[in-house]
Amino acid sequence: MKGFWGILKREMYYKQKFHTREELVQAITEYMNYYTNDRPQRGLGILTPMEFYEKQLLVA
C-alpha cells in the first residue's frame, strides 16, 4: 500500500492544487478508480487490472 500512495502523489496530487477538502477527496476517489481499473501495470504484463482479469477468465 505504501507504493500506491507514492504513485498517487507523484501522478496526481503534486500536479494539482486543491481548494477544498471535498475536491481532494473527489480527486483521490477518481484516481483510485483509475488505478484499480484503467492504469497499465508492469507486474501484469503492461495490462490494466481489468484486462488482466478478463484475460484470466478466458484462460480458466
Domain spans in the chain, listed from the N-terminal domain onward: 2-59
Among residues 37, 32, 41, 59, the alpha carbon closest in space to that of 50 is found at 37
Q: Which residue has the cell 483510485?
A: 32
pLDDT single digits (tens) 8-54: 899 888 989 999 999 999 999 999 999 888 999 999 999 999 899 99
Q: How far apart are CA 53 and CA 44, in angstroms?
A: 10
Q: Which amino acid is at 48?
A: T
**pTM of the complete model:** 0.69
